[in-house]
Amino acid sequence: MTHVITSLCLRDGGCATVCPVECIIPGKPEDKWPWFYIDADTCIDCGACVAECPFEAIFPESEVPAAYKAKGGEKLSMPVGTAGFAEVYDGKNHNGEPVHLEGTRTLAAGETVDLTFCIETNAEFFKSGPGYNA
């Protein structure tokens, strides 16, 4: 199995600093691949990254929620141009460096979102996207 980063990721980057097998890759260009991505072939399912994520964006593959219930105020990030994702997010990563994302949406409290599509997106990043041969 593997762990999966979902669209709750806002590029904090802390997860990549603790991964013992260095299998977490920042997506680039950010307008097309806005999250960090986990190489399923290398991940050893240790779970260290989960506790490090300030946005609770990482799940074991079998636990990626099909009905994630929002607390309210979380942001989902998608490639620029995705319908309904027109908010700009400006924040800082774990090093204090600026993070700028132009395809985000803020969730309302109680809203439910299916995050399981992120499993395929993560696989795609390594199959044919910029993570190929990474």
Q: Which residues bind ligand SF4 (CB under 6 A)?
A: 3, 5, 9-15, 18-19, 21, 23-24, 35-36, 38, 43-49, 52-53, 55, 57-58
Contact call for residues 35 and 77 (beta carbons, < 8 A): yes
Q: Which single residue brings its beta carbon nearest to ligand SF4?
A: 12
Q: Residue 107 gets which letter from DSSP?
A: P
Write out the two tokens for 19.
Answer: 């991964």
CA dist 71 and 81 (Å) reads: 25
Smallest gap from Cβ 72 to ligand SF4, in A, equals: 18
Write out the two tokens for 108.
Answer: 């309302």
> Nearer Cβ to ligand SF4, position 45 or 111?
45
Smallest gap from Cβ 108 to ligand SF4, in A, equals: 20
Three-class SS state of 99: strand
Smallest gap from Cβ 79 to ligand SF4, in A, equals: 15
Q: Residue 131 gets which letter from DSSP?
A: T
> Nearer Cβ to ligand SF4, position 60 or 82?
60
Smallest gap from Cβ 67 to ligand SF4, in A, equals: 20
Contact call for residues 15 and 52 (beta carbons, < 8 A): yes
> Nearer Cβ to ligand SF4, position 61 or 80?
61
